[in-house]
Structure 1
């Protein structure tokens, strides 16, 4: 039997035991929270040097073109601290696609699909352990075609100016090429020498040419007359216009509420002043389409633009895509300018390609994507792309009418004859967009081919390149040729 004195001693001991128990459970709970919910955040913390070093302890998955060509892989190093580093055999040509992986940072697919490539993504980890008992990074088979990508890159490089090209399969949304110029060599970021890596990063970041910028996805530009695809779709959709119907196209159009008169390129007349809608589209008459914008009004223009994906922030490929924008509030003069792709209208080169892709696919715009398959090291496919609708932009009848109008652009009398391919009907719309920064106009084109059986849609932008029909159209032609020879 315990005496009164022993009971008095046990009371504080019990209290201490209870407190210790509560602290133990709190500690276990906190550890559980960290391991279950905060582990990823701690691994990604830039101050976690151990996690950064561990990233190079095992090989990451490879990046493969659609024909199996390797454009990024892990190779062994001779240094004990970092067992592997990334290698990029294709270099600058595919840099906007691959991005890079360095000790300090990541970009492109190396960043967007980091967990899959590193093997830490749940879907990869579980399947890897189930098949072989060893965690391994998964490889990505991409939708990109090497010949089309090289045609796009070389076309841009030949101009000597910054720009971007995107090529899509209009039936699926698969990205066949995504080029940006000037580019960079991703291998420069694979250096395991920290001083050299810091110097490279500083040099790249301070370069006024911005080689690290993926112009295809990360920057928007005024689309110029390529936006007349949108305005044309809105006009045909309204029922007030038809391809053969006349439109008012004066030599100069006074913008409402201003003293400014809008003119066509080089001050030229648009036919007899009342041409058909098809002729106005073929000759890219600014006064005609600005007048259509005034007639339709900003609400209908904006609604049609948003059917293509303007003002939407839900697009990833899987890299994030800048929002292509159409202004929220405009007066009549601004609406007229927006109808020809000026004022505050902005589009990524990807969106420029999507304009044609939607027309080519009968009005159905497919969601763009870059990754076709996810593969384990033993070749097992654990995930594959499923093409999906992104937007219903117009009826099939309107798409057919626009296709016929776009084909005229690459024929005699059209602004896009330089995009024509012998023996193939090419549908296109050129653009020469005024540069808000005061430089030369940007050169653009949106095109697809063959018009009767579309296999590729192309968007080209050359910064300060001048006339789209002279500078961007030849690049589109080269890309289309490469795409048709590859398919």
Structure 2
């Protein structure tokens, strides 16, 4: 019995040792880089426990404005204090004097932290470059002052630039077998998403200090600076944004209480986005908690009377409008319009005063002649499909700069397209008509250029770290037909009449420092807050009228009919742009 028991215990011991050896092999030889269902990198985790580090730059590429100024980051002087200082005799009083705080406050800041402490970058500690130089002249091990990269506050053009996430699963799905360091950021929206492959970091820039199990120095008290060896990375994405105009647009959107909506400003000559503002703002702590993560300027919206520009273009080409009069005392269904009784108007006056009856009737006539007409002219004016730059980029055939951009549309079904009542509603920008604000801005630019239809650019080039160009994005024509120069000239006149006519809907802009041409719009959304229906309020135009340089759209979404207008916003933007130009 004794021998049998010994054999059993020996067998159990051998099995246990086998399991232990197998487990050790799994940990140290087989799954060292991808342990468990969570894909834990054991080598990195082990190294992390033996060092204290502070990341100076995460290594991801950056976004610049059109003049080369940083958009996605700012570098700020900071003071970095390593925990081992508490175990050494260091001249804290000299450091405190250099940065202008008390010695006790400085020592309290370090406390019993087991991680490097950062002072500066944010209130209440704001360091200057002179203070940074004073600290570094002291040459105290574990006390380092340098510039560190931060996300700027406020971050302008947040939705256009987009969001990132340190989601290992997304990285794995997107880049298959390629390996990345733990914590690598991946773009999930905006330009961060479309240019992600170029922006991915080659590694972090960091300060590293090695410690033993009790936090003491392992290789002496020197702090090492570590950065990727590749001199070409990280890259810079040079956007078309003008920081001056972007700052103006952000401030004015907030001043005028835009809670949902925004602004698009295009350079008419280049068709570049100079400014793009979307509200609600991004909540960076919880970006998907509300609509702040969406760029409203790239999403389908109900345009209302802005769409009458399309009907006008088609009617000018196909209709006999000279000498014709329209009954603008009635609604589109023929009943008396007690709220907007404009009497009898000709075509030009109908456009200036935005008469629904005129454009509903014209849309029905166009539909009767050819059900495809409204869609045809919406496409000619860039309102359907997408307008963002797309084309070949290295191995990608259909690279899109604006990956989150919706397609515009006029009808959802063939049945709606052939129904005269639906055509009438579509003619005034209601029913199933949906457009993006960026496409409306592009429509104004197309008209101002005399029918020249181009793609909208948000980025002009990708540059290596040393400033040399990796890739460029040349201007490109937008596919599909366009309006003739003669039709564009007639539309220019109509859009100017909106401002100059004594009862035009754009009278607000008569006395601005730059002459404006444009079209207003108020769309019923079918959504109610209490008993009040909510509306989308627009003004889209270009300026100066005689020598067009800017196309501008301001839109306030989901507001009551008696509040939330955008005329003052549009007006203040034009004035602000004029002031910025004078400073050049």
TM-score (norm 1): 0.74
Give the one of 164, 176, 184 matched to 2:262: 164
Displacement after TM superposition at 1:424 (Å): 2.3
Give per-residue Cα distances to partners, 1:391-434, cap 9 Å, x unaligned.
Answer: 54211111111111111112232111224452422001000000
Matching of residues 91-240 of structure 1 within 5 Å = 91-104=154-167, 106-118=188-200, 134=231, 136-157=233-254, 158-184=256-282, 188=284, 200-201=285-286, 204-207=287-290, 210-217=291-298, 219-240=299-320
Q: 1:291 corresponds to which residue?
A: 361
Give the one of 571, 578, 584 matched to 1:477: 571
Q: 1:269 corresponds to which residue?
A: 341
- Counterpart CA distance in 1 for 2:163 and 2:148 is 11
- Counterpart CA distance in 1 for 2:40 and 2:449 is 49
SS at match of 1:140: strand
Q: Is 1:324 the counterpart of 2:404 in the alignment?
A: no
- Counterpart CA distance in 2 for 1:74 and 1:460 is 29
Displacement after TM superposition at 1:175 (Å): 0.6
Q: 1:403 corresponds to which residue?
A: 492
Q: 2:376 corresponds to which residue?
A: 303
- Which entry has the higher C-alpha Rg, 1 or 2? 2
Give per-residue Cα distances to partners, 1:239-261, cap 9 Å, x unaligned.
Answer: 5235xx43323422454xxxxx4
When residues 90 and 409 of structure 1 are mapped into structure 2, their CA distance, relative to the original with a 3 A threshold, is farther
Contact conserved, 2:534 with 2:561, CA < 8 A, in 1?
no
- Counterpart CA distance in 1 for 2:432 and 2:385 is 16
Displacement after TM superposition at 1:167 (Å): 1.0
- Counterpart CA distance in 2 for 1:299 and 1:352 is 20
Contact conserved, 1:283 with 1:409, CA < 8 A, in 2?
yes
The alignment yields a C-alpha RMSD, in angstroms, of 3.2
Q: In terms of mean alpha carbon deviation, does 369-378 or 476-485 score higher?
A: 476-485
- Counterpart CA distance in 2 for 1:263 and 1:364 is 41
When residues 234 and 86 of structure 1 are mapped into structure 2, their CA distance, relative to the original with a 3 A threshold, is farther
When residues 338 and 174 of structure 1 are mapped into structure 2, their CA distance, relative to the original with a 3 A threshold, is same
Matching of residues 367-406 of structure 1 within 5 Å = 367-391=455-479, 392-406=481-495
Give per-residue Cα distances to partners, 1:1-25, cap 9 Å, x unaligned.
Answer: xxxxxxxxxxxxxxxxxxxxxxxxx
* Structure 2, unpaired ranges of 5+: 1-33, 46-54, 83-114, 117-146, 168-185, 203-228, 389-399
When residues 406 and 173 of structure 1 are mapped into structure 2, their CA distance, relative to the original with a 3 A threshold, is same
Give the one of 419, 423, 447 matched to 2:541: 447
Displacement after TM superposition at 1:171 (Å): 2.3
Give per-residue Cα distances to partners, 1:171-224, cap 9 Å, x unaligned.
Answer: 222011110112125xx4xxxxxxxxxxx33xx4234xx22121111x211100
Give per-residue Cα distances to partners, 1:25-46, cap 9 Å, x unaligned.
Answer: xxxxxxxxxxxxxxxxxx9xx9
Count, aligned residues = 399
Contact conserved, 1:224 with 1:342, CA < 8 A, in 2?
yes
When residues 289 and 115 of structure 1 are mapped into structure 2, their CA distance, relative to the original with a 3 A threshold, is same
The structure showing larger relative contact order (alpha-carbon pairs under 8 Å, at least 6 residues apart) is 1
Q: 2:63 corresponds to which residue?
A: 63
Say which structure is richer in helix. 1
Q: In terms of mean alpha carbon deviation, does 460-469 or 341-350 score higher?
A: 460-469
Contact conserved, 1:430 with 1:469, CA < 8 A, in 2?
no
Matching of residues 3-42 of structure 1 within 5 Å = none
Give per-residue Cα distances to partners, 1:335-391, cap 9 Å, x unaligned.
Answer: 001011001100111122122111111112210011122211111123233112115
Say which structure is richer in strand. 2
- Counterpart CA distance in 2 for 1:263 and 1:388 is 48
Give per-residue Cα distances to partners, 1:248-285, cap 9 Å, x unaligned.
Answer: 23422454xxxxx4776x632234x2x22111011000
Displacement after TM superposition at 1:325 (Å): 1.1
- Counterpart CA distance in 2 for 1:49 and 1:284 is 63
- Counterpart CA distance in 1 for 2:161 and 2:297 is 13
